Amino acid sequence: MDTFQAMFWDTKVYLNKKHQYLNNEILVHYLNLDSDELAQIYDDLRYAINRISLTSFLSKREAAQDYGGWVQSTQKMLNRIDAIYLLLPPYSDCKDERKDYGEQLYKCLNRHSDLFENGLDERETLWYPDNNEYGYLSYDEKGRETFFITHFDPTPMLEMWENKANLDDLQEDITAANDDIRNSVTPYLYLLEDLLRVKFVYAKLLDEFLHIRHAFLDEHEVAEQFEKYLLTEKVASKDYKRLGTAEPQAVSNEVFRAENGKPILCGSYTFDRLGAFLYMDFFRGITNNYIPKKCGNCGKWFLLPFGKYSDYCDNPLPRDSSKTCRDVSARKKYDEKCKTDPVWLTYNRAYKAHYARYMKKKMTNVEFEKWGTYAIELREKMLANELQFKDYETRIKE
């Protein structure tokens, strides 16, 4: 995976000195991923590494019939992961256009093609241009024509092993190939662990511990809730169900000039793991009260900025883009209060009665607005138990 630089200042994050985000804004993208799919890919990929590792214990039947299929299914999994993470920050902002992305496993095995095919002539006879079954012609950086294999049969390796020819060299080649395979696939496993940690750690910590009373917690409450969360990690069965720590590759302090041109002193970090970045950004966001929240209406995660707590997001509704979850849910919440809470029910009835007077021109606009302010004050006093209900009911009708 790509390395990237993140500079932190106040509530902002600057990626590679170009792209600006708020604390935990990037985490929201990952909270909204389909974690069930990621968990399945993770389990399948861990199993796949063992299947595509080269060994003398492979039978010729497995080599000829199964190995190529294992490689292709593994490459499809890697392609699927590429399709997810390369579209999301920080990678979507930091992707190096000069780097050759995609088909990492195929490229790895092509570097060890002598273990699979005996020379270019044989490879050309196996090439089917119509269905691209075995490979295709390509050109290297010097413009030389090469054959890129996409179907792999390790039978030649097994035959060399059976013939006891240059076993030391052969074992060295197999070990190098297996190391290369693991080095190509393992970064994807690390990435998946970081993505799954978003579901099993960050979502849990936020939903069950930091949003306990539908309001921002103070620093002492946050500390108490974090202590309670850590107790749950003692029974976590897998590493990605634990929080972990931030391990940036490099740490420094830099003067950076943002869009307004004014210099700011930032903490600068170089990351080679998404998880390390999310960890650092997450706790800065908690400190600054920039925390993700799951919408009580649509179920998607959104970012709560300091001082603006809400249970609902501002995303437009699928059927009516002029309204948001917050609009609809606020009305629904109001209606529910008016049905079950006598204070709100009395207020709503009085409002409707006075609004009808206003519409019939029995009240002026100024009189209606004055009554509205007065009614809200009465309602708030009643909710604070500063009035008797009968007194409230009588005065609000005036």
Contact 324, 296 (CB under 8 A): no
So where are the chain's domains?
Answer: 1-116+152-309, 341-396
pLDDT at 167: 81
Best mean pLDDT range from 28-42, 297-311, 377-391? 28-42
If one compares 11 and 245, the residue with the highest pLDDT of the two is 11
The contacts of residue 246 (CB under 8 Å, 6+ apart) are: 276, 277, 279, 280
pLDDT of residue 132 exceeding 60, the answer is: no
Share of the chain above pLDDT 70, in %: 91
Of residues 291 and 237, more confidence is placed in 291
Find the helix or strand (DSSP H, E) in which 276 lies.
helix 274-288
pLDDT for residue 393 is more than 70: yes
Q: Are strands 250-257 and 263-271 parallel, antiparallel or unpaired?
A: antiparallel
pLDDT at 206 over 70: yes
CA angle centred on 180, ends 5 and 169, rounded to 5°: 145
Return the percentage of the chain with pLDDT > 90, whole number: 44
Helix (H) or strand (E) holding 279: helix 274-288
Token representation of residue 258: 């943002």
What does the alpha-carbon distance between residue 9 and residue 22 come to, in Å, rounded to a whole number? 10
Read off the tokens for 177: 């190939």
Q: Nearest to residue 291, comparing CAs of 217, 227, 199?
A: 217
Look at residue 129 and tell me whether its pLDDT is greater than 60. Answer: no
Give the mean model confidence (pLDDT) for residues 249-273.
91
Q: State both tokens at 37.
A: 């799919």
**Confidence band, pLDDT 50/70/90 cuts, at residue 99:** confident
**Average pLDDT rounded to a whole number, residues 307-329:** 84
Q: Is the previous residue joined to 90 through a cis bond, with omega within 30 degrees of 0?
A: yes
Strand spans (E) along the chain: 4-9, 12-15, 19-22, 135-139, 145-149, 250-257, 263-271, 291-294, 301-304
For 256-286, letters b (16+ CB in 10 Å) and e give: eeeeeeeeeebebbebbbbbbbbbbbbbbbb
Dihedral of the CA atoms 192, 194, 200, 205 (nearest 10)? Answer: -160
So what's the pLDDT on residue 118? 42
Please list the alpha-helical segments (H only) found in 32-165.
35-52, 60-61, 67-85, 91-94, 104-110, 120-125, 155-162
Number of CB atoms found within 10 A of residue 134's CB = 21
Please answer whether residues 31 and 121 qualify as being in contact, where contact means their C-beta atoms are separated by less than 8 angstroms. no
Q: Are 31 and 198 in contact (CB under 8 A)?
A: yes
365 three-state secondary structure: helix
Contact (CB, 8 A) for 343 and 379 = yes
pLDDT in tens, 6-36: 999 999 999 999 899 999 999 999 999 988 8
Question: Residue 47 — very low, low, confident or very high, per pLDDT cuts 50/70/90?
Answer: very high
Q: What pLDDT does residue 140 have?
A: 55
Which has more confidence, 376 or 142?
Answer: 376
Q: In whole numbers, what is the pLDDT of the chain averaged over residues?
A: 86
Q: In the prediction, which pLDDT does 48 show?
A: 94
Residues facing 12 on adjacent strands: 9, 22
Give residue 124's pLDDT: 46
Report the candidate in 129, 154, 135, 133 with the shortest Cα–Cα distance to residue 54: 154
- Between CA 346 and CA 171 the distance in angstroms is 85
CA–CA separation, 35 and 203 (whole Å): 11
Question: Which DSSP string do the residues of 143-172 spell out, in sequence order?
Answer: S-EEEEE-S---HHHHHHHHTT-SHHHHHH
Asked if pLDDT for residue 126 goes beyond 60, the answer is no
pLDDT at residue number 122: 43
Name the β-bridge partners of 149: 135
Q: Which of 82-96, 106-120, 211-225, 348-362 has the lowest mean pLDDT?
A: 106-120
The 10s digit of each residue's pLDDT in 150-171 is 778 888 888 888 777 678 888 8
